[in-house]
Amino acid sequence: MDRLWLGFGAGFGLVGVALGAFGAHALKAQLEPRMLDIFETGVRYQMYHALALVLLAALAGQLPEGPAAWAGRLFVVGIVLFSGSLYLLAISGVTWLGAITPLGGVCFLVAWALLLVAAVRG
């Protein structure tokens, strides 16, 4: 399981850096400042949780697999829902996409709570 989380973390980190550069250079002239801020929030949270996945991979052997595995799954789903919806919202301007973002945020919160449970049990 540790290689899986490392792979996801590294992949999301790679894509996060690429999207950050894309936003800072290509989108800066294309988006209004509010939409660029939304895009950058997606990048920031993607990077936070990519690093969380790398940390989870590093600690996987020391944590109970059940809560830790679910934390990893929810970090991945959270990145897709939270950051993905913000990217699409910023680029498309379709406001209903903002309704998806809190679902990703809930995934992040539950994942962090499960990581806490794994730490206490471990």
Domains in the chain: boundaries: 2-121
**Percent over 90 (pLDDT), the chain:** 91
Band (122; pLDDT cuts 50, 70, 90): confident
Tell me: pLDDT of 70 over 80. yes
Band (13; pLDDT cuts 50, 70, 90): very high
Determine if the pTM surpasses 0.85.
Answer: yes
Query: What is the torsion angle, in degrees rounded to the nearest 10, for the CA atoms of residue 71, residue 77, residue 83 and residue 86?
Result: -140
Question: CA–CA separation, 72 vs 104, rounded Å?
Answer: 13
pLDDT at residue 46, as a whole number: 98
- φ/ψ region of 121 (left if φ > 0, alpha if ψ in -120 to 50, else beta) reads alpha
Residue pair 76/53 in contact (Cβ under 8 Å)? The answer is: yes
Tell me: pLDDT of 59 over 90. yes
Amino acid (one-letter) located at 23: G
User: What average pLDDT does the segment 100-120 reach?
Assistant: 97
pLDDT at residue 1, as a whole number: 67
